[in-house]
Structures are given as structure tokens and as C-alpha cells.
Structure 1
Amino acid sequence: MGALYMGNKPLLHVDQRVSVVVEQLLRLLHHCGAPPTDVDLLHGPGTTMGDVLKGAEPRSTLFTGSQRVAERLAVELHGKVFLEDAGFDWKILGPDVRDLDYVAWQCDQDAYACTGQKCSAQSILFAHSNWVIAGLLDRITDLATSRKLSDLTVGPVLSWTTKSILDHTKRLLQIPGAKLLFGGKPLSGHSIPEVYGAVEPTAVFIPLEQALLPEHFGVVTTEVFGPFQVVTEWQDGQLPQVLDACERMSHHLTAAVVSNDINFVQHVLGNTVNGTTYVGIRARTTGG
């Protein structure tokens, strides 16, 4: 849209599995008055788009997607590309508990609105034990388990299959101390093709000490582009371990520090690197 606003004609390509979605977006724009000649849509595999880019030598390319393709494009286009890489997005709940219902609602929205298919969706929740004692996880459970396909509060996952999401869940549950908070089951009563995913909103709890172990950290911080998150609990004295986990993540896109304690907030911000970071008791990772 930014390219259009500036008078340019974009050539648009998305993963072939989701071309049907972006085609409907373009038809919506046409319905609202956009000239049909203002945007070209290329449907097909990524290799086809790669060949077009190499032949066209575009002055400007914007890419959102996997790290592997991003690194390849940076080389092939000699750096003439704007990249928005993947993101495993974290949220830290500080020791000061307040606005419990709102924070629970925001956690549910961050992780599961738009079926979790947002680049800045909440991937992992570091909840201080004060929030757990106050019942935050129970309230998130109530909100997440009320989502259903019939009212589209949960829907198809476009880039992960049902099997791949459930297999990832099983791998996480093999970590000592891990437990399924909710979800972990396929949706029922639908006709969603198998190439897409159809799972209940899911959260897996992983003990902080286990999550930090090198043999577990990779799977714990694997981004699932769907209704899925990892939850862990930290206590007083364990903030260094939480910050270590945040800094060991390879993709720093969006984060939230949920606290009104200015000293706590400054300490976290001063010891982490991120893209967009929201701060305050109503902090979020996404507006979706």
C-alpha cells in the first residue's frame, strides 16, 4: 500500500498456498475504486518470482518471510532489498500485578487473534509467579478455549499443516516438566483442506530452566505462524535467565514489557535488543 500511495506500481507475490487470500484483497481494492492496472499479481512458486527479480533488476524490493530466503535475496539483489524477517516475539510480565482482566485479554489477543498469523504475534510469555498466583493463566485459558471456527475467532492456518503443528506440540511436551495448558487438538466439523492447518488455540508450558538448556532452546523458540504459544514462569531472582533467553533468540522483531515499575522496565530495556517494543501495564506485541 505504501508503494501505491507513492505512485509506484507494485508487482506482488506471496506464497502460492495463500495467493487466494491476496487475490481477494486485490478484488476488494478494485471494488473500492482502485484501478485494476495499478498492481500486478504473480501467482506461482517462489523460484518463479526469484527469476523475475533477477531479470528485472528492480530498484526497490520489499520482502517479508523466512530468514533463508531473505539472506538469499540480499545476495542476489546486491543489498537492494528491504527485509522484514521472521520474529519469535516475547512478552515479559513484571512482578507488579494489576489490571488482571485486561492483561489476560491482551495476551489472548496477541497470541490468537487473526489465528495467530501476525508477524508480531506473541510467541512466548514470561509470566512472573505473581501473575500465575493471581490466576492469569486460568483467565487466558478461558478466553482461548472460547474461540471457535463458527464465529471465525479461530480459523485456517495457511503456512503450517495440522500435522506439523501437532508434531511440534509433541516435541515440546517431551521436555521434562512440560505440560499442555490448553489446545493441542485438531479442529473438528470443517472442510479445511489438509494443505492448511486447523488446530485449537494451543499453549504449552515449559519450565524456564529446561527451556534454557541448549538441547531444548531451539525447539522452544521455533516460531509457529498460527494459534500457538509457549508459556513459562519466572520468580524473583530469575530475571537474568529471562533476559538471557531473550538475547539468545535469533530474530528480534517485536516485544512487550508489561509493567509500570520504571526501574524494572528500564532494566529490561537496557539489557535487550529488539525492533518494536511496547512498554507499560497494557503493553502488547501486536495491534491485531
Structure 2
Amino acid sequence: MLQLMGALFMGNKVVIKNSTSTCMVIEQYIRLLHACGMPKTDVDLIHCGGPVMGELLDRAPVRSIQFTGSSFVANMLSEKHKGKVFIEDAGFDWKILGPDMKQEELEYVAYQCDQDAYAASGQKCSAQSILFAHENWVKAGLFEKVEARAALRSLDDLTIGPVLTVDNETIQKHIDRLLSIPGARIQFGGKQLENHQIPPCCGSFQPTAVFIPLEEILKPEHFEAATTEIFGPFQVLTEWKEGQLDLVLEACERMDHHLTAAIVSTDIHFIQKVIGHTVNGTTYAGLRARTTGAPQNHWFGPAGDPRGAGIGTPEAIQLVWSTHREVIEDFGPIPDGWTPPHPT
């Protein structure tokens, strides 16, 4: 909806195709815009699958495409349409807990870690995908605190619920692959929800965390699997010790999708080093740093890719939904008695 409104604000005629699993929502939103006075010719809504929309893009004189979805489809569109695509694709979002742990801050940090990973059942592009916890936090019991917070989630109040785009078989296969890594273990969760009516086409998993040793994550044979996003209530946990910050930063640099990130620390020199060696487009820093819950008054979007589409600010809207244009006016007057000079 944010990208739709940005496109309209900049005067574009919009053709929108939403996810087939949430198409009723966008249809009702457009009807709301009609009720508020938007001309019905401003937006064309199409209900269809991806291949049909792809054929429409091939045939229609489209000037620009904004795509939100998988990296595979984003790259396919980029190749097919010669780069005329702005992308909001997958976000494997990291959080680093610095060494400056204070016992009185443990409960809050655990709360925010749970919220970032499992709110909306983890179905946010900004959800916390991997947590690099300094050993001081681990020794203080952070993982157990996050587990206790996650255990409060229930189908009764939908603090955990259906996973719309990943089924249980896919989630289980991913967990099994990670557990094949030496030293990996299920920290908590790892089981399907019980006593529900969620259809099998959707996922239904407990909030789940798999711990993987940092050294194993960095190995080429494991890195891709350990940094694959599951768009649901799932995250990877790991621990780092004194002298291992450069390994953490190496992992962050090698990741493909640089959307959101969080640096939980009040040590300004630590924060500056991490920010200076990472490129995520929206990075939160400080004791209350988070990966999700971005307010609508700052830039939200990926970095490290010129195709990255942002939302949330006038700058983002202009970047995605407008283009620079220079109009030079020169009306004269022509001086009296002017004659053509010698050609140059």
C-alpha cells in the first residue's frame, strides 16, 4: 500500500498486481480510496498469477516496475526488462548484541529480540533472521529469556498463526538441513502447532530458533543454508566472543540482502565500527535497536544494490516513482543588431 500511494503521489498511472494470498485486502483498500474521492481511472487492479502478469509486462508499454517479493523473480524481471525495476526483495536481517551487557537491560533486549523475530509470525521483510549474541549476553541467559517470551505466543490471540507463503514441509526441510551442520541444535521450538484448523498449504510452526556455531556458519558449505530466509517464525542464533567481531562483520558482508539491521549497544566506538563495516539500508543502533517496527518518518529499504526501492520518506518516493528531468528555458531577448558569429 505504501508503494501504491507513493506512485499515486508522484502522478503515475498505476497497474497493481498483489500477492494472490492477500489480493482481497488490496481490493478493499482501493475501494476505500474510491470512497475517499480517488478517481476510478487512477489505479488498475489485476487479479492473476505471476505468469499472466509477466505476459502483461511483456506486451504493455510499462515505463517502470516496482517489485516486492522473492529475489529469484526480482532478478528475472531485471534481466527481462533491462533493469527498469525497483526491488524490495528478501531481507535476511541481522542483529548484533555488543559486549556491554547490563543485567537490568536483559529483559528489555530479550523482549525486543522476540518481537523482532516472531511478531506477525515472522512474516515481515524486516524480521530478525539471525542474532549474533556476545557471550556476555548468552551467559546472562538471553536465549532462555527469548524462549520464555516466545512461549507466551498463542493461536488464541494470534500472536502466532498461519504462515502464508511457506508450508510445514519446507520449514522442516530447512531445519533438518541446518541441524546437519556440526554443533547445530534446536534452541527452542522446532515443532508444528497443534489443535488448529490451518490448511496444509500454509505453515503452522512454533516460534523456532536454531543455534549454529559462528565458525560453522562462515564455512562455504554451510553459509548459504545458514543465511537463507524463512518467511515465518524462524531465526538462527549464534554466539561470538572477544576477538571475533571481525568474523561477525564478515558474515554480515557476505549476506546477499542488506535490508534492516540492529546494533544493540551503548558503546559508541563499537557502534561506529559495525556501522562502518556494514551496508544495510535501514540500521538501528543503541540499547533499543530493533530490526522491525519502522516508523513512517524515515527511509526504509535495502542498500548495496542500485535497484533498491525505499519507502517512508519524500526522498524514497521520489527515487522510486519519479525521475530526474532538467528543463532549461532561454527566451532571450536576442540583442539588437545581432549577427551570426563564425562557426565553432
Q: Does the alignment reach a TM-score above 0.5?
A: yes
Residue 141 of structure 1 corresponds to which residue in structure 2? 147
**More divergent stretch after superposition (205-214 vs 25-34):** 25-34
Aligned to 2:180: 174
SS at match of 1:204: strand
**Aligned to 1:5, which of 9, 12, 36?**
9
| 1:277-288 pair list within 5 angstroms | 277-287=283-293
C-alpha contact (below 8 Å) 1:207/1:233 kept by paired residues:
yes
Does residue 84 of structure 2 align to residue 83 of structure 1? no
Q: CA deviation at 1:19?
A: 2.8
**What's the secondary structure of 2:87's corresponding residue?**
strand
* CA–CA distance in structure 1, aligned partners of residues 225 and 55 of structure 2: 33
Counterpart of 1:272?
Answer: 278
Percentage of pairs with the same residue: 62
Q: Secondary structure at the match of 2:156?
A: helix
CA gap 1:31/1:187 in 2 versus in 1, 3 angstroms: farther
State the structure with more CA Rg.
2
Matches within 5 A, 1:1-288: 1-26=5-30, 38-98=42-102, 99-287=105-293
1:37 deviates by 5.4
Q: One-letter code of the match for 2:155?
A: L
Letter in 1 for 2:180: Q
Summarize the Cα distance change of 1:249–1:193 in structure 2 as closer, same or farther, 3 Å threshold.
same
| Matches of 1:160 and 1:72, distance apart in 2 | 21
The one-letter code of the counterpart of 1:286 is T
**CA offset at residue 7 of structure 1?**
4.3
Using the TM superposition, name which of 88-97 and 162-171 deviates more.
162-171
SS in 2 for 1:124: strand
Q: Determine the C-alpha separation between the residues in 1 that align with 2:200 and 2:255.
A: 31
AA in 2 matched with 1:209: E
- 1:87: how far off? 1.6
Structure 1 Cα separation of the partners of residues 196 and 119 of structure 2: 19
Q: d(CA) in 2 for partners of 1:175 and 1:27?
A: 50
Gaps of 5+ in 2: 295-344
CA shift, 1:191, in A, is: 1.6
TM-score, length basis structure 2: 0.79
Instruction: After superposing the two structures, state which structure 1 stretch, 76-85 or 160-169, moved more.
Output: 76-85
SS at match of 2:238: strand
**Bigger CA drift: 50-59 or 2-11?**
2-11
Alignment CA distance shift 1:283-1:72 (3 Å): same
Normalized per residue, which structure has more helix?
A: 1
How many angstroms apart in 2 are the aligned matches of 1:109 and 1:37? 40
Q: Distance in 1 between matches of 2:152 and 2:30?
A: 32
Between 1:162-171 and 1:221-230, the stretch displaced more is: 162-171
Counting matched residue pairs gives 288
